[in-house]
Structure 1
Amino acid sequence: MVARILDAGQRVLITHGYDGASTNRIAAAAEISPGSLYQYFPNKDAIVAAVIERYTRDVTDRVRARVLANFGKPPEVSVPETISYLMDALGNDRELLRAVVEQTPRLAADGPVAAFEQQIGELARVALSMRQYPIPAGVDTDAAAWMLVRTVEHLTIRYLLDGPPIPRERFLADLTRLILNYFREPPARAERE
């Protein structure tokens, strides 16, 4: 029954957005009474949070597997492969991605989207701590992981949702260059002047 309610909640969220979703609409889409829905979920926010959690868990599991498979590969190979896989995982259901990103408020600071970002951030920190990437002296790996995860996440989501006239391979190459340049030693001061 929970899966049925979540499937209905997902359809309603995609069709009507967060503001247009209601427990009555979700119950109708699930072909159950509102009373039956309330046996499993106390309100709309709980259903939406569970829909987002299911989606982000699937994406996180898929991306985690790819990140782990890419350990040991040179960054020039592992970075674009991982981003490409993230694009595939996020883009698997673009309508739901759009609803989650554009229609759904961050239900809580510790909600499913924040949990997703935290899990991907942990993977990035592990990769950085294993020195898979050349890290210049003075780079804070926690700060680097936070910034890089949010940069990749935001640009990837906007690429998928906006559909800019940029070929996928160009997007991957440019985003890879952005990430790898983050870890390049800045030129010595005398060279810059």
Structure 2
Amino acid sequence: MVERIVDAGRAVLARDGYARFATTRVATAAGISPGSLYQYFRDKDELLGVLMERFWAEAGDRVAASLADRLAEPPEELVPHVAEALLSALEQDSRLLRVVVEEVPPSFHEGHAHHLRRRVQDLVAAYLAGRAPRGADAATRAWVLVSVMEALSVRWILDRPAVPRERLIEEVGLLVAPYAFRAGRD
């Protein structure tokens, strides 16, 4: 029943937006009474918190799974895979992504989005630690790289500019690879 409610909540949030997200709409979409919904969730905020946790966890799982098997690749191959993994993970439900980014108050999702970033940053930092030049701070570079790639991925998905996916991935590689592997401060 919880899965049914969460699935319905996700669909309602994506379809109606945050301003019109209500437990009565979710209950109707789930084919249950509002009273039945309240047996599982105290209120709209608790349900929204679960939706955000799952949304970002699923994206994180997809990115981590995509990257985990590629950490032995050379940088020129890994960077496009990181960009592709982020795009693919965030594109899974672009309507919901738009609502999350543009409408849902950050207090409901920022902690979960941070967890996704942290997972990817840890993978990237581990990769850089063995390959970055002497003096480079792998953790800082990983944060910068993941932040840039996430921002570009989200904007490309939401804005849908006249930039083909392959071109975006190529441009991201041109942007981040030189930075990732340049010598650090001594």
What's the TM-score, normalizing by structure 1? Answer: 0.86
Structure 1 residues 34 and 113, CA, compared in 2 at 3 Å: closer, same or farther? same
For 2:125 and 2:45, the matched residues in 1 are separated by 31
Give runs of aligned pairs for residues 72-111 of structure 1, distance below 5 A: 72-108=72-108, 111=111
1:148 pairs, out of 132, 145, 155, with 145
Bigger CA radius of gyration: 1
Task: Answer whether contact 1:45 1:107 (CA < 8 A) is retained.
Answer: no
Per-residue deviation, 1:125? 1.9
For 1:161 and 1:139, the matched residues in 2 are separated by 33
Task: Answer whether contact 2:67 2:85 (CA < 8 A) is retained.
Answer: no
Task: Answer whether contact 2:52 2:109 (CA < 8 A) is retained.
Answer: no
- Identical residues among aligned pairs (%): 39
Question: Which residue in 1 is equivalent to 2:126?
Answer: 126
Question: Which residue in 2 is equivalent to 1:17?
Answer: 17
Task: Answer whether contact 2:59 2:90 (CA < 8 A) is retained.
Answer: yes
The one-letter amino acid of 1:117's match is: R
Structure 2 unaligned segments of length 5 or more: list them. Answer: none
Structure 1 residues 110 and 52, CA, compared in 2 at 3 Å: closer, same or farther? closer
Q: Secondary structure at the match of 1:107?
A: helix
Task: Answer whether contact 1:49 1:107 (CA < 8 A) is retained.
Answer: no
Task: Answer whether contact 2:13 2:21 (CA < 8 A) is retained.
Answer: yes
Question: Which residue in 2 is equivalent to 1:138?
Answer: 135
Structure 1 residues 84 and 110, CA, compared in 2 at 3 Å: closer, same or farther? closer
Structure 1 unaligned segments of length 5 or more: list them. Answer: 187-193
The one-letter amino acid of 2:151's match is: H
For 1:19 and 1:115, the matched residues in 2 are separated by 25
The one-letter amino acid of 1:172's match is: I
For 1:90 and 1:84, the matched residues in 2 are separated by 10
What's the TM-score, normalizing by structure 2? Answer: 0.89
Task: Answer whether contact 1:70 1:78 (CA < 8 A) is retained.
Answer: yes
Aligned length: 183
Q: CA RMSD in A?
A: 1.9
For 2:84 and 2:109, the matched residues in 1 are separated by 28
